[in-house]
Amino acid sequence: MTGHEHSQVEVHHKEGFIRKYIFSTDHKTIAKQYLITGIIWGFIGMILSWFMRLQLAYPNQPIPLLEKILGGWAEGGILKPEFYTALITMHGTIMVFFLLTAGLSGTFSNYLIPLQIGARDMAFPVLNMLSYWVFFAASVVMLISFFVQTGPAGAGWTMYPPLSALKNAVPGSGFGTTLWLISMALFIVSSLLGALNYITTTLNYRTKGMSMGRLPITVWGMFVTAILGLLSFPVLLAGAVMLIFDREFGTSFFVPSGLVLGGQPVPHEGGNPILWQHLFWFLGHPEVYIVLLPAVSIVGEVLATNSRKPLFAYKICVGAIIGIGALSMIVWGHHMYVSGMNPILGEIFVVTTLAISFPTAILIFNYLVTVWRGSLRFTPGMLFALGFLGLFIPGALTGAFLATAPVDIQLHDTYFVVAHFHFTMATAAAFGMFAGVYHWFPKMFGRMMNDKLGKIHFWGTFIGVYLIFFPMFFQGIAGVPRRYYSFTEYNFTSQFIGLNKFITIAAFIAGAAQFIFLFNFFWSMFKGPKADKNPWKANTLEWQADSPPPHGNWGPELPVVYRGPYEYSVPGAEEDYIPQTASIKVEAK
């Protein structure tokens, strides 16, 4: 429990540039590598969405600039439909996996777990380094797929076969999909290495006095996330390998007999396309919570610290996180109500899906009570944490429509779904990530980020997100299907031309606000005012270490923990916070 092998002082020799910044085994450096790679992917994903929005706002209107940027993909300035399907595929893949899984978990699990439990590093530092570099390899392969002749994968981030299994079903299903599958296989290996490390470290490397009941909510969130990843990612890995076999070696896991594609018979026989959907969503739904739980737990930590109040009902919150994690493994079928799956199975998934609203509602209510009668301090991190609540609430409530199977018949694969998941997991998780970056930046880089720019970034993003995605609920209710290259073909979709232009403008404004963040991030890294050890007057252990903490994190002695992480504004205490390392007794009045 206490990590005896760490209790002796470790002397760290001066390291060369490569050992220190590139092939580092220091969990803090690896976290920064994940963060910066994640930010790069985030910007790539965002710019892809700009191209999509341009096409939806101005269908069939030549935009000469597009041809200059995209070349053959936008001949005459008009985006090709096959490139549009590649855009939706890559936007989804990049945002869900590379930004909000690797970028979010990779950054904050790596950075916070050892620091918040009082360890000197991860349990397996070399494995940790390997995890980043395998992720880096996955990133390189995914990036290369943009430059192959037939373009990147184009069957949607869900990769449903036969569209993804037959190489000429869509141009992106050629070499682009092969690279997509290889990249995802590498990505999953990287996630598994990370998850093993996070779980082992949390269980075995807690410092003296840091019982499981005293772990900050962030560590609980990352811990449950790691368990979810470890249980569900291998299933997608198996699916990806089977799909590679179907594509390259003539097996038929997912392709049935008797298909005729473009007038040519397909040689496969005996497979079932719905099998892939089960395998995919068995990861795919826990994945939503792999993205969400780190964000939700970061938000809990930031809310408590900046409300100067204990996290309301800490134990119930931890229970809710565990409950969400457990239930998330048995709800995947709600993505498949109209897939041709057995309808009785559908009804069962309705019940499990509605059940997951129980822990979720508890968690959000507890967060609201945490804010209630606090003494709120509006740092940019706090604003993003509050913004998270503001986005997550409509996201979670609209889940009730989609969970109800008969209503899902109408709403499935429409913009209602697009709006729903962008609120619940996409932008909400991004807000959690922003909250984390603003909150822990002083610890990571030893400097403060600019407060004013942070606030402008927040309001630009928050209002922008609402203007982009809220109208999409109404479009979806009206039946507008998602993944459409243009809405000019149907009467029931072409009524929204004006609204689509509005959404596109909002997307460009919200996107532009991200460049304020980019500037603030890199400028503050070098020019920001120096941060002291504990700028937010927070209780958790990392704020007792130097800013930034040295390799090995602590001085000669490991910190000792005497209390829980959320003793804010305790009546009778001198200050409104009591660090976990303080051994004083407080007499409540």
Partner 1 sequence: MSQNQSKFHGLLFLFFFILGSIASVWVVLRNGWWLPELASDRETIDKIFVTIFIIAGILFVLSELALSYFIFKYAGDARRKAFYLPGTTKKEILWSILPGVLVVMILEISAEFLGGASIWGKIHGEPPKDAFLVEITGEQFAWSIRYPGPDGKFGKVDPKLISYDNPLGIDMSDEASKDDIVFPAGEGVLYLPLNHPVVLLIRSKDVIHSPFIPNFRVKQDAVPGMVTRTWFVPKKEGEYELACAELCGLGHYRMKSLVVVKPMEEVQEWLSQQTPAGDIYW
> Which residue in 412, 420, 422, 457 binds partner 1 (CB under 8 A)?
412
Among 8, 60, 491, 583, binds partner 1 (CB under 8 A): 491
The stretch among 208-216, 338-346, 441-449, 525-533 that binds partner 1 (CB under 8 A) is 338-346
Q: Is 137 in the site for partner 1 (CB under 8 A)?
A: no
Under the criterion CB under 8 A, does residue 532 sit at the interface with partner 1? no
Using CB under 8 A, pick the residue from 40, 127, 231, 376 that binds partner 1: 376
Considering only residues 456-475, where is the footprint of partner 1 by CB under 8 A? 459, 462-463, 466, 470, 474
Of 147 and 492, the one with the shorter C-beta distance to partner 1 is: 492
The distance of closest approach from Cβ of residue 212 to partner 1 in the complex, given in angstroms and rounded to an integer, is: 16
**Is residue 260 close enough to count as binding partner 1 by CB under 8 A?**
yes
* DSSP H or E run through 244: helix 217-248
The reply on whether position 535 binds partner 1 by CB under 8 A is no
Specify which residues 50 forms β-bridges with.
none
Residues within window 159-188 making contact with partner 1, judged by CB under 8 A: 160, 162-163, 166, 169-171
How far apart are alpha carbons 559 and 117 in whole angstroms?
A: 9
267 binds partner 1 (CB under 8 A): no
Q: Rule CB under 8 A: is residue 406 a binding residue for partner 1?
A: yes
C-alpha distances in Å from residue 501, one per residue of 74, 92, 176: 20, 22, 31
Q: CB 213: neighbour CB atoms within 10 A?
A: 9
Partners of 447 in the β-ladder: 530
Q: How are beta strands 260-261 and 264-265 bridged, if at all?
A: antiparallel
Q: Which is nearer to partner 1, 64 or 258 (CB)?
A: 258
Shorter beta-carbon distance to partner 1: residue 279 or 383: 383
Q: For 387, phi and psi rounded to 5 degrees?
A: -60, -35
- For the chain, report the end-to-end CA distance as a whole number of angstroms: 35
- Shortest reach from residue 228's CB to partner 1, in Å: 21
When the beta carbons of 42 and 346 are compared against partner 1, the nearer one is 346
CB 160 within 8 A of CB 226: no
In angstroms, rounded to a whole number, what is the distance separating the alpha carbons of residues 539 and 582? 9
Interface residue with partner 1 among 6, 28, 80, 457 (CB under 8 A) is 80
540 sits near partner 1 (criterion: CB under 8 A): no
**358 part of the interface to partner 1, by CB under 8 A:** yes
For residue 206, the number of C-alpha atoms closer than 13 Å in the C-beta half-sphere is 18
Looking up tokens 């499990």 gives 352
Q: Which helix (H) or strand (E) holds 260?
A: strand 260-261
Cβ–Cβ under 8 Å, residues 164 and 181: no
Contact segment (CB under 8 A) with partner 1 among 220-228, 292-300, 408-416, 507-515 equals 408-416
Question: 95 or 226, CB closer to partner 1?
Answer: 95
- Contacting partner 1 within 378-397 (CB under 8 A): 378, 383, 386, 389-390, 393-394, 397
What is each CA distance from 510 to 262, 341, 450, 465, in whole angstroms?
Answer: 41, 39, 19, 7
Distance, CA of 57 to CA of 501 (rounded, Å) = 5
Among the candidate windows 35-43, 78-86, 181-189, 522-530, which touches partner 1 by CB under 8 A? 78-86
| Nearest distance in Å: CB 476, partner 1 | 9
Distance CA 160, CA 233 (A): 17
Under DSSP, the state recorded for 450 is P
What's phi and psi for 558, nearest 5 deg? -75, 150
Q: Of 29 and 370, which has the nearer Cβ to partner 1?
A: 370
75 binds partner 1 (CB under 8 A): no
**Binding mask of the shown chain, residues 294 to 333, with x at each position contacting partner 1 by CB under 8 A:** -------------xxxxxxxxxx---x-------------
